[in-house]
Amino acid sequence: MIVRRIGRRLVIIAAIVLIAGVAAAAVATRNLRSGKTGGPLQAVSAPADVVARGKYLAAAADCAACHTAPGGAPFAGGLAMPSGFGTIYATNITPDPDDGIGRWSAEDFWRALHDGIRRDGRQLYPAMPYTSYRGMTRSDADAIYAYMMRLRPMKVANRRTELNFPFNIRLGMLGWNVLFLHDSLPAVSAGSSPAWQRGRYLVNVLGHCGECHTPRGIAGEMELSRALTGFALSRVAAPDITPSALASRGWTAAGLRAYLGRGLARQGSAFGDMHPVIMLSTRNLTAEDLDAVATYLLGDKAPPPAPAATESAAANDAGRMSYVALCAGCHGLDGNGVPNTVVAMRDNSTLRLADPRNLIVAMLDGIGAENFPHRASMQAMPGFSDKLSDAEAAALANYLRVTWGGQKGDVTPAAVQALR
């Protein structure tokens, strides 16, 4: 395993060095040929229906998620994206001539989305998900461009990336692209219907769902052979959302449509990094496109959802006491929650995950009210980190997993401690 990893790392470094040398010359001459920073302001005239389609596609592709700083103007950039290699800032993509993309042609825009190349000919980092957008059709990219060029130009200067050597050398990405920029789309399920085809495009390309749900290799690349099998990029892990895993946690097409369309389904509600995905992106999808996404995630022949876990007497008393004292007021003594108001614990997908991480994090951190602006009357779920010791939290997690999750009661106090 380790040998394989080192071998792969050597291959990557060799490729980067080799290709970088050749490319440096090419890029240098190209930049000399054309002054790539100036140029005329682009006047884009597109029919209203194309602009409207571009707006819809930009939402489906969730461009705003990264290109908007907290509290900042939409698309004016500035969001800091920390990575193991340093911090990358998303850029201003409003049509400001100096700070934004006001001088970019449709061709320049296409190269950014499809090839990961900026207008000045330099490489983008894959924090901009061009490895997913690579599969975008030219006509969809042009529609997004037409929409972006109609936005109000914002004078917001871009911040410099703060990456450590050698990652601060953008040319290195040429080698990375040779290895990891693919033209073919993975298929996580079996299907061929028009809805399935559309869903495959929406999930892999526009929705770039794999950027969080697909495991990453040592160079930060998505391991497409394990597409959507789950990964922990931040505190709340993105679970396995391939057909059999979804079915094992009780998901149906109707459940997925409700979850992605409004953030709340019988199987659970969205929290962590998934919540903004739904708020900014998937809840804008048409009913037809939501159906396409569900069809692709489950396949043309959806596997039957696993039946509800049968309540087990093996659940522990200490956990039950904590549940009654702290949780039942909202989630119900019977675990049924309050329909359309507070999600049920019975059969909740988070309790049915083999990995207890998300359950523990939800209990410790709580879920902020900002997580459900569309249900303004709802009270937030408080965090319980100061009310539960490691042993109590572990017992509660085990009670929930055994009683309603169909899982083992194998959470240890150390596992809770590690997530504090």
Q: Which residues form the interface with ligand HEC (CB under 6 A)?
A: 58, 61-63, 65-67, 81, 88, 90-91, 93, 101, 109, 112, 118, 124-125, 127-129, 133, 144, 161, 203, 207, 209, 211-213, 236, 238-239, 241, 249, 256, 259-260, 264, 268-274, 277, 282, 293, 326-327, 329-331, 342-343, 348-350, 358-359, 362-363, 367, 372, 378-379, 381, 384, 396
- Token pair 């995905």 is found at 277
- Dist. CA 170–CA 56, nearest whole Å: 32
**Which residues, at least 6 apart from 294, have a Cβ–Cβ distance to it below 8 Å?**
199, 253, 254, 256, 257, 260
Please say which residue, 12 or 296, places its beta carbon nearer to ligand HEC: 296
Q: What contacts 20, CB < 8 A, 6 or more positions away?
A: 169, 171, 172, 174, 175
Listed residue (393, 397, 392) closest to 410, CA to CA: 397
CB of 372 to ligand HEC, least distance (A): 5
Residue written as tokens 């911040």?
159
How near is the Cβ of 204 to ligand HEC at its closest, in Å? 9
Tokens of residue 117, six digits:
């190349």
Q: Which is nearer to ligand HEC, 19 or 298 (CB)?
A: 298
Which residue, 19 or 203, is less far from ligand HEC as judged by CB?
203
Tell me how far, at minimum, the Cβ of 272 lies from ligand HEC, in Å: 4
* Lookup: tokens for 94: 């409003």
Give the residue with the Cβ less far from ligand HEC, 19 or 90.
Answer: 90
Nearer to ligand HEC, 174 or 277 (CB): 277
Give every CB contact of residue 82 below 8 A, 6+ residues apart in sequence: none
Q: Which amino acid is present at 232?
A: A
By beta-carbon proximity to ligand HEC, the closer residue of 8 and 114 is 114
- Give me the least distance between CB of 173 and ligand HEC, in Å please: 8
Could you tell me the smallest distance in angstroms from the CB atom of residue 21 to ligand HEC? 21
Residue 412 identity (one-letter amino acid) = T
- Least Cβ distance, residue 115 to ligand HEC (angstroms): 11
Task: State in Å, rounded, how far the first CA of the chain is from the last one.
Answer: 31
